[in-house]
Amino acid sequence: MVANHAMRKVFLRSLREILRTYPSLDGIDLDWEFPSAYDRERMHLSQLLYQIRTEWRREKRTNDILSLAVAAPEGIALYAYDIRQLNLYADYVNLMSYDFHFYREDTPFTGLNAPLYARSQERSLMATFNINYTVHWWLQSGLEPQRLVVGLPTYGHSFTLVNPLNHRIGAPASGYGKCGQLGFTTLTETCECASKFFKPNLSYDAESCSPYLSALQEWISYENQKSIACKANYVKSLNLGGVMVFSLNADDLRNSCSFMPNLKYSEKPVFPLTQAIKDILRESL
């Protein structure tokens, strides 16, 4: 679509009709995963953003928000986006800073979904797979801090351990875990799975602000109130644009996590992660 001027016009017209039909909408968020270095897709994305912004100015839509979901890894972002153009046209750039580790055949070991920092034993490429590295890469590449919104997950990733006695981070894994779908597990699913075991091992990696649990061959990287608060405070400390939650329906909807003694979920039994983020960011207002 973006490579064809006529098709971009059709897209712009459909946006205009949607915003007129639903005037309560705050704006639009573009989620293209991902523009490539080929076929000038990076340039075409910038042209689309320019055309949307120009159209809104013509229609006096000065309060509408234009945001863009972007890749976190440097290896993708370097070729996918003209960051100077994002500063000109996007109100917010939503960093998809999660899925740093999940089961794949070429990475058959456990890992954390959204670590805040690299762990001390991580080196080279592995030391870049964390929120802090990607945030600073985007800032050093020229994105204005007030536009950068850090994505935090409410879901986790499950793995099947090769050896149940080896349940550390980086332990060999043979596939997705039984919890969730293809390794994707909502917080509710994580807690309901954990409740089936008499005594799951609940662990917290302080270096990366990330919890994980294991029981028999099941291993899950997830978020709890402690980890999500750590990451929200990080965003606040850098005066960034805010936090993007992915996603509300993956948070704990049914108070399924109240049995976990170290999470204090009984204080806020519904949507505990989203509520924790909201509480911390509101403190700065």
pTM score > 0.85 for this model? yes
54 CB-near residues (< 8 Å, 6+ apart): none
Fold type of domain 97-285:
Chitinase A; domain 3 (3.10.50)
Q: Are strands 156-161 and 218-221 parallel, antiparallel or unpaired?
A: antiparallel
H helices then E strands: how many in the chain? 8, 11
**Residue recorded with tokens 């293809």:** 182
Confidence (pLDDT) at 258:
78
Task: Give the Cα separation of 34 and 71 in Å (integer).
Answer: 7
Task: Give the Cα separation of 114 and 208 in Å (integer).
Answer: 8
Task: Give the Cα separation of 52 and 2 in Å (integer).
Answer: 12
DSSP string, the chain: -TT-HHHHHHHHHHHHHHHHH-TT--EEEEE-S---SSTTHHHHHHHHHHHHHHHHHHTT-TT-EEEEEEE-SHHHHHHH--HHHHHHH-SEEEEE---SS--BTTB-B---SS-SS--TT--GGGGGSSHHHHHHHHHHTT--GGGEEEEEES-EEEEEESSTT--STT-BEEEE-SSSBTTEE-HHHHHHHHHTSSS-EEEEETTTTEEEEEETTEEEE---HHHHHHHHHHHHHTT-SEEEEE-GGGS-SS-TTTT-TTTTGGGS-SSHHHHHHHHHHHTT-
Confidence (pLDDT) at 273:
94
Question: SS3 of 144, please?
Answer: coil
165 CB-near residues (< 8 Å, 6+ apart): none
Backbone angles phi, psi at 227, to 5 degrees: -70, -40
Confidence (pLDDT) at 262:
55
Confidence (pLDDT) at 266:
56
Confidence (pLDDT) at 29:
98
Q: How many CB atoms are located within 10 Å of the residue 202 CB?
A: 16
Confidence (pLDDT) at 257:
87
pLDDT along the chain (285 residues), means of 10: 89 96 97 89 95 95 96 95 96 99 97 98 96 98 98 99 98 98 97 89 97 97 96 98 98 84 63 94 78
Backbone angles phi, psi at 140, to 5 degrees: -70, -25
Domain locations in the chain? 1-20+27-90, 97-285
Task: Give the Cα separation of 275 and 230 in Å (integer).
Answer: 14
